[in-house]
Amino acid sequence: MTDLISAPDAATGKLVDATAPGEGPASISPADDAPTQALPPTDGEQPLAWAPIEPAPKKKRLGLWIGLGVGVLALGAGAASMILIAPGTTVAGVSVGWMTPGAAADAISAHVAETKITLTGAGDDAVLTGADLGASIDARELADKAFSSNPMWNVTAWGAALPGTITLDEAKSEAALRDAVPSSFIDPVDASVAFDPATGAYAVTPAEAGTAIDVDDLAAAISETVSDGGKNLEFSGDPTPAMAAVTDENATTIATSLNTLLGTIGFYVGDERTVPVDAATAASWLKVVDTDGKLSIEADPALIQATVDTLPGLVDRAPVNAANVTNSAGKVLRAETAGVNGRTIGDTSDIASDFATQLESGDGIYPLTVTETPFQSVNLVRTADVNLRTQTASFYENGQLVNSWKISSGAAGHETQTGNFTIRAHVRIQDMKGADYVTKDVPWVTYFNGDQAFHGTYWHNNFGRVMSHGCVNMPISAAKWVYDWAPDGVEVSVHY
């Protein structure tokens, strides 16, 4: 026996050395990579040998790969469900299921823009698109709302329908419709308001109706068609009544407001309209403007300023002192002149702009700020003096001669009585009678002593000589002056 252990070659079946002389166990040849194992000895002289190992069966991984694929799909579906709108969802009739909000917004906008409108009747089957009419819808907001309320992961929200409103650009729609069906358009005439110099008031010119194709009705028809999932509709191109934007009611309201302004407009100190403004001037300040079919009042501060510049000269005044007629004892017989405070207008720099704003609101009463100077009271002591010797009547105020005239006092047998008297009565005109005379319509009679009085005389002009039956005859103008100047209570001295 030797120490050589041989094993069959895996490829040839021949035995090979398991070891080399002097080296322990042999290694398997690189050319022979078949696994081997030690075989137990058998009975008899059968030599020991290596036997090849049966290869273990490979594990089948098909199920793993299928599982991985399903997992990936599940993960993808889960991720998609987080960014997509639920299947079956519609917005304003446009299907947006399985779309992201951005794609849904594009789809909605495109559907509205591509919708075709055939104009029948007078329209002669002209075709316009939503884009031609300026049709729009808030696509992005609606798409975001569809996603937030109906995400794909929420199966209970599948198949939801969200409403949406389609609007038309009025100017663009009208221009496109006018081009397509010009015969259906007759422009209405707005009601208007204008100042009439002949009457000094504002007058209304009534509105006149026209014809057009109703843009609001067209927008509603497009919305209905799109909401039903359609992209084509017919709409009548025949004319329908078109009302004026400015109505008679609106114009009448503005005219009434303006005419009210004309009746009160001015600059006030307290309740006094110190500086009234005439209608023509006020109308030059004001303009009636049309803003989107609604009339309003507009005032021009620059034009108002021209009147504001005159205010100091019209408002400022010195005080007027009160004057009271009294007797020599100081008793007030009559308030001769009412006292009036003086005043000076304040800062006028902002009046024009402030008044313009006020006028535009319909208020024509502008209160002025003034500084007042109080008046003082003055007493006027009035007396009358009749000198029978000189046949003169003289009148004094606070001791100063005011007026004097020649008179005719009572003749012999009818002398004017001397003494100190007070005026007791005034008679505008009357007949005077005596035992032997009747004088008709004697004017401006001022009684001071019984039946004796100052009065006007029209039957003679011989003043300076005794002529009367006891009264003091005076020229008519002089008698009227005394009648007005001397109230009851004025002292009269008659003497020689």
pLDDT tens per residue, range 254-289: 999 999 999 999 999 999 999 999 999 999 999 999
Q: Angle at CA 373, nearest 5°, toward 370 and 378?
A: 145
Q: What confidence score (pLDDT) does residue 8 get?
A: 40
Lowest mean pLDDT segment, chosen from 68-82, 226-240, 465-479: 68-82
pLDDT of 47 over the 50 cut: no
Query: What does residue 274 show for φ and ψ, rounded to 5 degrees?
Result: -65, -40
Q: What confidence score (pLDDT) does residue 18 get?
A: 38
Q: What confidence score (pLDDT) does residue 79 get?
A: 61
pLDDT tens per residue, range 126-156: 999 999 999 999 999 999 998 998 898 888 8
What are the residues whose beta carbons fall under 8 Å from the beta carbon of 15, sequence distance 6 or more?
6, 7, 8, 9, 49
**Helix-then-strand count for the chain, H and E:** 11, 36
pLDDT of 406 over the 60 cut: yes
pLDDT of 157 over the 90 cut: no
Please indicate whether residue 171 or residue 77 has the higher confidence score (pLDDT): 171
Q: What confidence score (pLDDT) does residue 50 get?
A: 40
pLDDT tens per residue, range 210-244: 999 999 999 999 999 998 989 999 999 999 999 99
List C-alpha distances in Å: 175 to 189, 212, 216, 243, 428: 18, 11, 15, 18, 83
> CA neighbours within 13 Å on the CB side: how many for 398?
6
Q: What confidence score (pLDDT) does residue 69 get?
A: 44
pLDDT of 415 over the 50 cut: yes
Q: What confidence score (pLDDT) does residue 187 get?
A: 95
Domain with CATH 3.10.20 in the chain: 250-373
pLDDT of 180 over the 50 cut: yes
Lowest mean pLDDT segment, chosen from 59-63, 208-212, 471-475: 59-63
Strand partners, 405: 393
pLDDT of 445 over the 70 cut: yes
CB neighbourhood size of 218 (10 A): 22
Pairwise CA distance, residues 494 & 480, whole Å: 20
Q: What confidence score (pLDDT) does residue 58 get?
A: 52
Q: What does pLDDT average to over the chain? A: 87
Q: Are 445 and 389 in contact (CB under 8 A)?
A: no
For the domain made up of 382-495, the CATH class stated in words is mainly beta
Please indicate whether residue 20 or residue 147 has the higher confidence score (pLDDT): 147
Q: What confidence score (pLDDT) does residue 341 get?
A: 93
Q: What confidence score (pLDDT) does residue 153 get?
A: 85
Q: What confidence score (pLDDT) does residue 487 get?
A: 98
Please indicate whether residue 284 or residue 19 has the higher confidence score (pLDDT): 284
pLDDT of 68 over the 50 cut: no
Please indicate whether residue 153 or residue 386 has the higher confidence score (pLDDT): 386
pLDDT of 346 over the 90 cut: yes
CATH architecture, domain 250-373: Roll (3.10)
Cα 145 from chain centroid (whole Å): 35
Q: What confidence score (pLDDT) does residue 32 get?
A: 43
Q: What confidence score (pLDDT) does residue 63 get?
A: 47
**Two structure tokens written together for 66:** 């299928």
Beta strands 365-367 and 266-269: pairing type?
Answer: parallel
* % of the chain residues with pLDDT over 70: 84
Domain with CATH 2.40.440.10 in the chain: 382-495
Of 61-70, 155-164, 408-417, which one has max mean pLDDT? 408-417
Beta strands 452-456 and 472-474: pairing type?
Answer: parallel
Average pLDDT over residues 413-439: 95
Q: What confidence score (pLDDT) does residue 154 get?
A: 83
Q: Are 139 and 109 in contact (CB under 8 A)?
A: yes
Q: What confidence score (pLDDT) does residue 81 get?
A: 65
pLDDT tens per residue, range 295-338: 999 999 999 999 999 999 999 999 999 999 999 999 999 999 99
Q: What confidence score (pLDDT) does residue 435 get?
A: 81
Average pLDDT over residues 176-194: 97
Q: What's the full length of the chain, in residues? A: 496
Q: What confidence score (pLDDT) does residue 24 get?
A: 40
